Amino acid sequence: SAVYSATKFAVRAISEGLRAESAGKIQVTCIYPGAFKTELGFSIKDTSILERLMKLGMAEIAQPAERVAETIVFALQQEKGVALNEIVIRPTAQET
C-alpha cells in the first residue's frame, strides 16, 4: 500500500540522516523483515488485508520470529567500523 511504502521510505531516510549526521560515531542498521510469525497478525481487523495475506499464503510460509531476533544479534555483534546499512530477511518462499 501507499502508506506502507511511505513509512518504509521514511525509516530509510531517517536512518540515512542519522548515519550522515553521526559521521561514523554510531552504527545504524535497518532490518526489513518479511513474513514472520508474530502477534501482529492477530491485531489485523481489516478483512481485505486478511484476505490478501491468506491469498498470498503468508500463514504457511511465515518463519519463526526468532530468525529476526538472530539477525538483530548478528547486526549488533559487528565490529566498530563495519556498516550493515540494510538487511532484508524473509522466507525463501516469499515473493519480493
- Which whole-number Å values give the CA distances from 27 to 7, 24, 46, 68, 82, in the listed order? 21, 7, 37, 18, 8
Phi, psi of 15 (to 5 degrees): -65, -45
Q: Would you name the residues annotated as active-site residues?
A: 4
Euclidean distance between CA atoms 73 and 37, whole angstroms? 18
